[in-house]
């Protein structure tokens, strides 16, 4: 093992020892999985489109049979979406301008950590609205541009980021190295854009802890965690690191009863 790799491993161990486990980083990630599974179980949800699908679906394959889902996926990366064996139908295209999403074709759209990659989120939301049947829903989880890792991501040159990610996060280098725009990714910006597109915002959740990317350098991890705690105490919505939204096209297509508490 190289000296560099030993140095990284030591810093990761120290960071994990000092991680505030009672303030989990992945609150919006876990809530996305929970709410999406709830939406899959709605009797009228059959046709699902996973936007920015990548090479892997975020859920167990058994969900498709258990809930009777017809699963489509779209991604701008043809190699990734074609390698996604969980999909029944695969499409390559830009979600901001592609007609592949269709008109009135879907009951549910899912988008996990994809919004931040879209250069024109308003156009995406308008396309998403048109693609849903009345009463259909979009669930999306994505980081905010004010997360410490997001700020660093925008400051560093793309080639440099790819090289660093290849060294530090070898298993996720391709996934994390895609260009990121953070267009309308603040809580209030996305909410306003969704409402302009015609959506009713059913649910919104934000979370502030986001220091996992910095475990490789202990002092940087501790500084980032301190910034996270300050933002958490202040509680300003647009300062969140991660956002989660459930949007609904007005209509009575769903039989599911909405009962969760909205974090507005």
Whether 264 is in a domain gets the answer no
Report helix, strand or coil for 247: strand
Whether 259 is in a domain gets the answer no
Predicted local distance difference test score (pLDDT) of residue 21 = 74
Q: Looking at residue 65, which CATH number applies to its domain?
A: 3.40.50.150
Separate counts of helices (H) and strands (E) for the chain: 10, 7
Neighbours of 136 (CB within 10 A): 27
pTM above threshold 0.85: yes
**What residues form DSSP beta bridges with 70?**
47
C-alpha Rg value of the chain to the nearest Å: 19
Phi, psi for residue 219 in degrees, rounded to 5: -60, -40
The two beta strands, 70-75 and 89-92, are parallel
What is the per-residue pLDDT across 108-162, written as a single tens digit (0 to 9) for each?
A: 999 999 999 999 999 999 999 999 999 999 999 999 998 888 887 777 766 655 6
Range of the domain at 238: 3-248
- For the chain, the domain total comes to 1
Give yes or no for a contact between 107 and 83, defined as CB atoms under 8 angstroms apart: no
What DSSP line would sit under 188-204, residue for residue?
A: HHHHHHHHHHT-EEEEE
Give yes or no for a contact between 27 and 50, defined as CB atoms under 8 angstroms apart: no
pLDDT tens string, the chain, 264 residues long: the values are 588 888 888 999 998 888 887 677 889 999 999 999 999 998 889 999 999 999 999 999 899 999 999 999 999 999 999 999 999 999 998 999 866 677 788 999 999 999 999 999 999 999 999 999 999 999 999 999 988 888 877 777 666 556 665 565 555 555 455 678 999 999 999 999 999 999 999 999 999 999 888 888 899 999 988 989 998 898 889 999 999 999 999 987 665 555 555 555
Compute CA distances 264 → 60, 62, 192, 206, whole Å. 31, 34, 13, 9
Give yes or no for a contact between 134 and 253, defined as CB atoms under 8 angstroms apart: yes
Give yes or no for a contact between 110 and 49, defined as CB atoms under 8 angstroms apart: yes
CA 219 to CA 13: how far, in whole Å?
12
CA 205 to CA 213: how far, in whole Å?
21
Whether 261 is in a domain gets the answer no
CA 247 to CA 231: how far, in whole Å?
26
Q: Where are the beta strands (DSSP E) in 28-187?
A: 47-51, 70-75, 89-92, 106-112, 132-143
Predicted local distance difference test score (pLDDT) of residue 186 = 96
CA 106 to CA 147: how far, in whole Å?
32
Predicted local distance difference test score (pLDDT) of residue 5 = 82
Predicted local distance difference test score (pLDDT) of residue 170 = 55
Predicted local distance difference test score (pLDDT) of residue 3 = 84
Whether 55 is in a domain gets the answer yes
Q: Which three-class secondary structure string do you get for 143-162?
A: ECCCCHHHHHHHHCCHHHHH
Report helix, strand or coil for 86: coil
């Amino acid at each position: 093992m190289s000296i560099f790799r030993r140095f990284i491993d030591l810093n990761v161990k120290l960071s994990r020892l000092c991680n505030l486990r009672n303030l989990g980083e992945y609150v919006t990630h876990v809530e996305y999985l929970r709410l999406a599974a709830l939406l899959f179980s709605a009797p009228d949800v059959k046709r699902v489109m996973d936007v920015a699908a990548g090479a892997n679906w975020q859920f167990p394959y058994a969900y498709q049979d258990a809930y009777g889902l017809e699963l489509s996926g779209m991604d701008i990366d043809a190699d990734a979406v074609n390698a996604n064996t969980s999909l029944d139908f695969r499409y390559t295209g830009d979600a901001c301008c592609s007609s592949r999403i269709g008109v009135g074709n879907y009951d549910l759209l899912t988008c996990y950590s994809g919004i931040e990659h879209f250069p024109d989120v308003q156009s995406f939301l308008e396309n998403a609205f048109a693609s849903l049947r009345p009463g259909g829903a979009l669930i999306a989880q994505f980081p905010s541009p004010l997360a410490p890792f997001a700020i660093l991501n925008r400051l560093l040159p793309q080639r440099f980021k790819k090289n660093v990610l290849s060294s530090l996060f070898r298993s996720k280098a391709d996934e994390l190295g895609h260009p990121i725009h953070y267009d309308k990714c603040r809580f209030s910006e996305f909410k306003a854009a969704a409402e302009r597109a015609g959506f009713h915002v059913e649910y919104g959740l934000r979370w502030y802890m986001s220091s996992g990317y910095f475990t490789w350098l202990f002092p940087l991890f501790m500084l980032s965690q301190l910034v996270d705690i300050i933002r958490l105490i202040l509680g300003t919505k647009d300062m969140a690191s991660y956002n989660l939204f459930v949007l609904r096209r007005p209509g009575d297509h769903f039989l599911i009863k909405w009962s969760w508490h909205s974090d507005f």
